[in-house]
Chains A and B, each alone.
Chain A
Amino acid sequence: MYLAALDPMALVRALPGNVAQGIIWGIMALGVYITFRILDFADLTVDGSLATGGAVAVMLIRGGMNPALALLFAFLAGMAAGFVTGILHTFFGIPGILASILTQIGLYSVNLGIMGKSNQAVNVMQYKLVASLRYVTGEGSELFFVKLIVAALILIAIIYWFFGTELGASIRATGCNPQMASAQGINTGFTKVLALMISNGLVGLSGGIYAQYQGAADVNMGRGAIVIGLAAVIISEVIFGKFCAGRKAAFAFTLGAIFIGAIIYYIVIALVLWLKMPSDYMKLFSAVVVACFLAVPYMKGKYFTKKRRTA
């Protein structure tokens, strides 16, 4: 009887919205990937810089700026946040996680200052927003998704290109082995700051798009963002890790997989809602899902691989 009350079509109909939300948060997850995996730096600035990007974008749009152009400034604002974390860490010698928490706390006041109050709305009827929940259904929705996907692909291409340059490679080297990197003449302080700036720039960009998508920037909109970002990264690694490894342009596939990871995360949330599970348990459920994804590679290694693999 419980199963009969569920409408499978409802889940399918909700899918486009989840995909849109997944792609937007996927941009943030790219940023998290750069610090968490490439630089090996636990950066909690994200919870603050997401809202900074949203606040900057919304205030500029309300001031009459083109919503697409406002995203550029959201990106720059995010970079500024990353710069602060980077300087606190490299120049003032504050441990990374603490430096990022300090920035995150400080950004709360900065975000309030940018918006003048805790919540500023942008109405999709008054401005030509680049993204909105409104576009998910109805006319022109295909175009919206094409735009989102193209934007994601462009970002992937830029990041792929950048981390292939000498500068990008020096960031990767810093993440792999800081001592070795500095022995090779890389200024690891500089590369760390740069990576944090790029990462938080992407997070700010994501915040700018998401604020338009939900119709308002809010000082609390970044709450829990880092968890969503990490979940997306880890889900993508578990599912697509093998698929991406050893392939030509493996790094580009890895970046693409992060978007799919974020989409899967939102589909899982939608699944919880669709199952009419009491939403009081939603957080527990998402924790369980992420824990499962984390556990799969280990369990597989332990119970499913009997004989030693040969290369």
Chain B
Amino acid sequence: MKARKILAVSLTAAMTLALAACGGSSSSSDKGASSKESSSDKVYKIGICQQLEHAALDEATKGFEEACEEKFGKDNVKFDLQNGQGEQANCATIVNNFVADNDDLILANATTALQCAAAATSTIPILGTSVTDYATALDISDWTGATGMNISGTCDLAPIDEQEAMLKELVPDAKTVGILYCSAEPNSAYQAKKFEEALDKDGIKYKEYTAADSNEIQSVVTSAVDDCDAIYIPTDNTMAANTEIINNICLPAKVPVIAGEQGICSGCGIATLSISYYDIGYRAGEMAYEILVEGKDISTMEIESAPKVTKMYNKTICDELGITVPDDYEAIEE
């Protein structure tokens, strides 16, 4: 009986192991090859923890990897790219593996990934990207621009006051602005607050509309278009995934939407101040080189924002609403 039990358990283990090996072999063999051919130079091991699959986060990771390959040389850097699949417990497991592996640097892509990495190590340098507000995410009360610990990185925020100026420029007679975001996203709440401060300065009224998840968007937007003559949506992942719903309500109601990023704008907005996630990922990659090779002190490196912003507009929706766009705006290509 006992022998059979052991046999059964070991068979199961073998089965699962074999399955895992099948899944992994194709994607990993090339990585192994590249590190093998590397010269005698030090090969840097960089762990990348991406919080979930998302087009913008994927871009940031891609930018980071390409910057590193360019700076360090393709053979001198080895990535361990792991995706938390949106489950927070996975982020902790992943960064724990990186620390156990003694990686040279950790890239934390998005807020929870950064928080887990910060909890996991005080020695391995951590770079964040696609994080909007480092002070809040890391609970630093006296914010000076740098974290003062083993963390730096790039943020994904386009200047909010410039976005507000853009709203005034395109919708000059707006009296009440609706601010629409998902209540689960701290980054959105932060941007909403900044946007409200800017509106306050100009004496424009505003109202917040939050949805807990995608099911609520329709009813929330419907009530927003009743009360407001313009809507602002920050870089909100939930809204970004549901621009069709928003557009189908806002366009018939003739309410223009200013969007925090290009993806949302191309779906339902009139204009946006665009940053590229590839750019901020790329910049983080350059920072990695400055830290690991040039020996810069990460604790004094300031959080950087996107190197360039572009004013962009959605031609279809602007035509439909009869909004004339100044010449310094670029049309978003379909």
Contact = CB atoms under 8 A, between A and B. Distances in A.
B33 interface: yes
Interface in A242-281: 242, 266, 269-281
B118 interface: yes
A238 B112 CA distance: 34
Contacts of B102: 13
Given A126-B139, A215-B116, A218-B88, A275 B100 contact: no
Interface residues of B, number: 65
A281 B26 CA distance: 13
Given A117-B186, A282-B85, A275 B92 contact: no
Given A223-B87, A269-B93, A134 B121 contact: yes
A123 interface: yes
A296 B93 contact: no
A180 to B, nearest CB: 34
A296 B9 contact: yes
B318 interface: no
A99 interface: no
A20 to B, nearest CB: 8
B83 A280 contact: yes
B97 A121 contact: no
Interface of A: 1-2, 4-5, 7, 10, 13-18, 21, 25, 62, 108-109, 112, 117-126, 132-134, 136-137, 210, 213-216, 218-221, 223-224, 228, 239, 242, 266, 269-283, 285, 288-289, 292-293, 296, 299-300, 304-305
- Which of B80, B83, B90 counts the most chain A CB atoms within 10 A? B90
23 contacts: A2-B24, A2-B25, A7-B101, A17-B97, A18-B93, A21-B89, A25-B89, A109-B212, A119-B136, A120-B139, A121-B115, A132-B119, A137-B100, A213-B119, A221-B89, A272-B20, A276-B31, A278-B27, A285-B23, A292-B15, A296-B8, A296-B12, A299-B8
Contacts, number: 194
Contact residues of A: prevailing secondary structure: helix
A119 B186 contact: yes
A204 B92 CA distance: 19
Contacts of B119: 124, 132-134, 213-216
Contacts of B248: none
Given A117-B186, A119-B137, A133-B96, A273 B82 contact: yes
Given A4-B32, A242-B5, A283-B85, A14 B96 contact: yes
Interface of B: 4-5, 7-9, 12, 15-16, 19-21, 23-25, 27-29, 31-33, 35, 53, 80-97, 99-102, 111-112, 115-116, 118-122, 136-140, 149, 183-186, 189, 212
Contacts of A16: 100
B276 to A, nearest CB: 24
A10 B12 CA distance: 23
A123 B139 contact: yes
- Which of B12, B83, B92, B102 counts the most chain A CB atoms within 10 A? B92
The 7 A-B pairs with the shortest beta carbon distances in the complex, nearest first, are A17-B96, A215-B119, A5-B32, A13-B100, A121-B139, A133-B120, A14-B100
